[in-house]
Structure formats: structure tokens, C-alpha cells
Amino acid sequence: MKYRNAAERLPMQLLQELQKHAPGELLYVPARQRKAWGEGTGAKTLYAKRNAEIRGQYYSGTADVPTLCETHCLSDETVRKIIYQKGESSMSTNEYDYSKYFWQNELVRLRRSRPDDWRFHDKPEINSDERFYSDGEQELPSDHTRRQENWENYITSTEDNDKWICLAVETLDGEYVGSGNIRGIDERNGTFNTFVGAKEQRYAVAALRLMLDYCFNERRLNKCSDCFYEGDTIFMPIYEALGFKVEGVKRQQVFHKGRYLDEIHFGLLAEEFNAHK
């Protein structure tokens, strides 16, 4: 920093007042409004642009975490912090443009599931009734490592499969709130099955609406069929909210907690979905 003689810069009255308090001393006079970090050098804009590029590559599926670490010479932890960081979207940077993104509505956004999403599913309620009603069986106890391996193998095996599509459900702010899938796609007969679960029913309904819109109005499929078990108050209301109709009941089809439960079959036609929408 270059020093200047106060006698050359200040009015005499002000100089005399300063001489009373700090005669012969060097003083630092701060700016009236200090610039935020990086604004003076352009570093803030540079790093914001880099972070936006990292998130764009990751969420578009063109690069995984190890590749981003190597490309940008960053640690795994740093890259993950950048990916899940919020609050930079207001900057003038090359953020991923969602303005014309098909897989979103007013509440949620869908993307392909990734192997590292396992951490969102590693929860204490993994062996709860919710798990039974989603898979139709009560699993044996499992540990952290096994659950991670199972999820990663499951996602990896469906990455290039257009008949079994695994999806993550996020809010428009990027918070992971659930998952779903489209499976059993039969192009010849125009049928398919779905699954969706989220921490709030409204997110699940919004996500399922996007999935059905894709199947009915992009893939030209005609009917979605799914089944649920007697006593299910978790998943059945999601499908009922979108107009699914009961088509039949298999009596005492599954066994759970000491009793046999009916299996209830639901169906929805493309014309019914579009009329309801």
C-alpha cells in the first residue's frame, strides 16, 4: 500500500485535529464501504463461474465426482461442497439453465439417480412399515456398508436402461426429498409401472405427475398399473390423488405382522390422466 503525506491530502483543520490524537504516527484510513472478498480482484466471479461449471457437469451427468476432482485439482470433500452448495444462483455466471427443463414443475425437479444418492436412503426407518409397503417384504437387518453396496449396484445396473428409469426427486432449490422409478415398460402393449416416495406427500404427487406425463405424452404409452397392500396409508393416497382407479383385489396375497393382507390393483389410462390434469 502506498503512503501519502496527510498534509497534502487533508484540510488544515482536520490535520490539526489528527495531530492532537496521533502525532507522527502512521494511520490506516478504511474505505467508507469495504468491498466484499474477491470483488476487487475478480476472484469471486472466477470461483463462482468454476463452481457453476462443476455443478452443471455433475447434474447433467457429463462428469462424476472423481473426474471433477482430477479436472479441477480439488479434493473430494471440496467438490461435494460445491455441488450441494446453495446461494450462488443469483450471480452472473454460467449456471445450469433450467428455464426449459422438461423434468420439473412448480414444486419439484427430477434427475437420474446416482450411486452416491445412497446416503439419502441410509436411514433408521429402512426396516419400517414404509419399507414393507414399498417392496412387499420385510428385509433382514442390514448394515451401513451393505446398504450402500446394494444401492450403488442397483443404480449402476439401470444407468443405460430406458425401460427401468431410476429418478431422484429434488425441490427447485436442489434439496433431495425422495426418489422414484419407471419400470416394466412394454412398448408393444403400451403399459408400464411406477414407484415414487418422498418425505412429503405433495412432493411425491408432483414427481409422479411428471413421470406419468413423460410416459403418456412422450413415450405414447397407454396405461400405468400398480398394486398396493391392504392398510397402506403411505403410497396408496399418492396414486389416488392422481386419479388411479381400483381394478381388482387379490385376497390375502401377502403376509405381514402375523396376518394375510389383500393386494389391491390400481390402473390409470392416458386419457384419464390428461383429463384429470
Cα separation of 260 and 262, whole Å? 7
Cβ atoms of 168 and 117 closer than 8 Å: yes
**Residue 95: its pLDDT value, please?**
54
CA dist 102 → 33, 105, 106, 195, 275 (Å): 44, 8, 12, 19, 20
Q: How confident is residue 7, by pLDDT bands cut at 50, 70 and 90?
A: confident
Closest among 206, 182, 204 to 193, alpha carbons compared: 182
Q: When comparing pLDDT for 89 and 173, which is higher? A: 173
* Backbone phi and psi for residue 125, each to the nearest 5 degrees, phi listed first: -85, 15
Cα separation of 207 and 169, whole Å? 7
Give residue-wise pLDDT tens across range 72-119: 889 888 888 787 664 444 333 445 667 778 999 999 999 999 988 887
Cα separation of 168 and 184, whole Å? 18
> Under DSSP, is residue 13 helix (H, G, I), strand (E, B) or coil?
helix
Give residue-wise pLDDT tens across range 239-269: 999 999 999 999 999 998 899 999 999 999 9
